[in-house]
């Protein structure tokens, strides 16, 4: 047990350092400010919808729809944060020769990549949880009504985990670009182009790559899971944010995509470790 703890200690120390460093990034607080304003506007909009609504639709259904209304924008802005910290975690350390300093210590190269991955992913989990809980709290502040606590918490936690995994994949891909290209301008150009393609040309990716599109587009993978598609191009929608769709029904539709989403960041991290280990 002590040997295992000694082995994991360098990874933990690097993860803690990365987490602390990104906590101080101004971009994080800018994005939080934008998402707070959007949450307030969304809460106000849905309170108006509830007041004008057909009362045969439950308050809980409106609350879930309101949460679903903000999820897309949350995913996009959190992806911007993930993309930025993923690039900087490699390129900034290269520029400052921080990685070279680390390698003079009793630290394996894989410990550096694993530490960065776990530290940044933990930060994105915290950010996703804060934003999602804030959205739901604002919706409940503007509206009041009965909510099945168990089902609500289950769906909320699921959204937080999915947002975290989507951001983790983004971090891994941007770190991969930083490890392969090494030039800051080339890396930034590539990841910005990739970001706009996956967020604004997703339909084109689907038509060209089919099911393989989800492997290079965490946004497409995330939205297909949220919408409950069983495969790329499916017309049947089983939204997670519709109370009329049971959680088990939604889970049955998207389970293969969830497995892909869980495995992909770890596979990419393993690839990053192999590439970094072979560097001179």
Question: Over the stretch 92-111, which tens digit does the pLDDT of each residue have?
Answer: 766 665 555 455 566 777 88
Residue 233 has pLDDT above 60, yes or no: no
CA pair distance 132, 70, nearest whole angstrom:
9
CA distance linking residue 173 with residue 253, whole number of Å: 27
Q: Is the pLDDT of residue 169 over 90?
A: yes
25 vs 130, higher pLDDT:
130
Model confidence at 238, pLDDT cuts 50, 70, 90, reads confident
Q: Using an 8 Å Cβ cutoff, are 106 and 10 in contact?
A: yes
Give 128 or 244, the one with higher predicted confidence. Answer: 128
Query: Residue 272: its pLDDT value, please?
Result: 92
Q: Which of 65-69, 132-136, 220-224, 263-267 has the lowest mean pLDDT?
A: 65-69
Q: Is the dihedral of CA 128, 78, 65, 226 positive or negative?
A: negative
pLDDT at residue 158, as a whole number: 96
* Structural domain that includes position 149: 2-277
Q: What mean pLDDT is reported for the chain?
A: 83
Predicted local distance difference test score (pLDDT) of residue 231? 60
168: three-class secondary structure by DSSP:
helix
| DSSP H helical ranges for 58-108 | 59-96, 98-103
Q: Give 186's pLDDT tier (boundaries 50, 70, 90).
A: confident
Residues 139-144, mean pLDDT to the nearest whole number? 74
Percent share of the chain, pLDDT over 70:
84
Question: pLDDT tens across 27-85, in order?
Answer: 888 888 888 888 888 777 777 666 666 555 677 777 788 888 889 889 999 999 999 89
User: Whole-angstrom Cα distance, residue 75 to residue 23?
Assistant: 19
Using pLDDT thresholds of 50, 70 and 90, give the confidence band for residue 260: very high
- Concatenate the DSSP letters of all residues of 244-279 into one string: TS-HHHHHHHHHHHHHHHHHHHHHHHHHHHHHHHT-
205-227, pLDDT tens digit by residue? 777 777 777 888 898 899 889 98
The structure's pTM equals 0.89
Domain count within the chain:
1
What does the pLDDT average to over 157-186?
92
* pLDDT over threshold 90, residue 239: no
């Amino acid at each position: 047990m002590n040997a295992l703890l000694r082995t994991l200690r360098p990874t933990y120390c690097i993860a803690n350092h990365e987490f602390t460093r990104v906590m101080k990034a101004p971009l994080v607080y800018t994005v939080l400010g934008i998402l707070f304003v959007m949450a307030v506007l969304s809460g106000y909009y849905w309170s108006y919808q509830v007041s004008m609504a057909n009362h045969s639709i439950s308050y809980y259904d409106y609350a879930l729809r309101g949460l679903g209304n903000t999820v897309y924008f949350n995913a996009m802005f959190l992806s911007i944060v993930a993309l930025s910290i993923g690039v900087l975690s490699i390129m900034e350390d290269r520029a400052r020769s921080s990685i070279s300093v680390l390698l003079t210590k009793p630290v394996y190269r894989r410990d550096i990549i694993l530490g960065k991955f776990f530290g940044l992913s933990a930060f994105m989990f915290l950010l996703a949880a804060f934003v999602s809980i804030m959205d739901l709290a604002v919706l409940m502040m503007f509206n009041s009504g009965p909510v099945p606590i168990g089902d609500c918490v289950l769906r909320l936690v699921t959204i937080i985990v999915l947002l975290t995994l989507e951001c983790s994949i983004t971090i891994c891909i941007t770190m991969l670009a930083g490890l392969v290209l090494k030039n800051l301008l080339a890396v930034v150009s590539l990841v910005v182009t990739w970001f706009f393609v996956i967020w604004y040309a997703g339909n084109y990716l689907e038509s060209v790559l089919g099911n393989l599109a989800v492997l290079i587009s965490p946004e497409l993978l995330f939205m297909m899971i949220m919408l409950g598609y069983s495969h790329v191009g499916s017309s049947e929608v089983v939204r997670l944010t519709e109370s009329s769709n049971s959680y088990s029904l939604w889970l049955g539709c998207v389970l293969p995509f969830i497995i892909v989403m869980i495995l992909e960041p770890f596979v990419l991290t393993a690839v990053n470790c192999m590439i970094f280990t072979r560097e001179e």
